[in-house]
Structure 1
């Protein structure tokens, strides 16, 4: 049983570019298949998926939480096994260079969190240390936690909790 990595992918672009991307995702019924389909002749598919997707398993359409805030802004929430799908995001950036991508992620079991994003033709990869104010701010601002959830689930210094409230 894996530890689940929580991901939120934020996309910003013109309506036509976002419509095209979302249409492709829906056509293939899985997030990674439309750009990086698993070849039929692969002997060790876990090695291939980790190399090409950055994670062990694909994410089915039914497991995507797609929200369109406006014609130009879309967020996609999903879970992956163990790690964020950074390899897939790199492929996505190359395939859709007119879209700004920002992937927020955290996985408590391994203590990883960060932001991987492409904006204005530059790729950024920012790691966030676990159990820091920045880490808990990510949980609150991006993943819908609140100070009470964090107080119940984590050992947090009172000064950090006060800053989250």
Structure 2
């Protein structure tokens, strides 16, 4: 059985294009609710990148949460974005395999930022306190540290580009 990667994607673009994306995802949600588990838009011919357990984010009209097997389905999202001429921001994580990242597609440029094993070398679990220690601070959850590390990686890359 696959490990499940949790994903949240938010699309951005003009209202008409976003309405088409919204209709696409509502259609996939409807198909999935009728028992067709694992969805891909009809215009994607791949055998990979299926969307599972899709639902709309209640706080943002064109944001969706869903699961994928093992890793994020960045290629499928890119195909949706290019098909409808929109951008997106994808946040993803599969903590069991330490998959954690953010993908940004804007102005026809795709950037994927992710953490690797080297990024976690200064994060230590303290059995006595039942906390993670990082740079002299204790954290109840490792995902707090992962957010810090990913934000640093994104900011460092933006500084290199500027």
TM-score by length of 1: 0.61
What secondary structure is seen at the aligned counterpart in 1 of 2:96?
coil
Given the alignment of the two structures, is residue 74 of structure 1 paired with residue 62 of structure 2, yes or no?
yes
Q: CA RMSD in A?
A: 3.0
| The structure with more radius of gyration | 2
Q: Which residue of 2 aligns with 1:11?
A: 11
Given the alignment of the two structures, is residue 116 of structure 1 paired with residue 103 of structure 2, yes or no?
yes
Given the alignment of the two structures, is residue 65 of structure 1 paired with residue 52 of structure 2, yes or no?
no
State the Cα distance separating 1:5 from its structure 2 match.
0.3
Given the alignment of the two structures, is residue 36 of structure 1 paired with residue 23 of structure 2, yes or no?
no
Q: Which residue of 2 aligns with 1:140?
A: none
Answer whether contact 1:4 1:107 (CA < 8 A) is retained.
yes
State the Cα distance separating 1:36 from its structure 2 match.
1.6
Pairing 1:82-97 to 2, within 5 Å after superposition: 82-97=70-85
4+ runs of 1 displaced by more than 6 Å?
none
Q: How far does the alpha carbon of each residue in 1:138-162 deviate from its partner, in whole angstroms, 9 at most, with x for none?
A: xxxxxxxxxxxxx97xx51161528
Given the alignment of the two structures, is residue 26 of structure 1 paired with residue 2 of structure 2, yes or no?
no
5+ long unaligned stretches in structure 2:
33-38, 121-128, 145-162
Larger RCO of the pair (alpha carbons < 8 Å, separation 6+):
1
5+ long unaligned stretches in structure 1:
38-47, 133-150
Q: Which residue of 2 aligns with 1:161?
A: 139
Q: Which residue of 1 aligns with 2:125?
A: none
State the Cα distance separating 1:2 from its structure 2 match.
1.4
TM-score by length of 2: 0.62
Q: Which residue of 2 aligns with 1:137?
A: none
Q: Assess, with a 3 A threshold, how the Cα gap between structure 1 residues 22 and 34 changes in structure 2: closer, same or farther.
A: farther
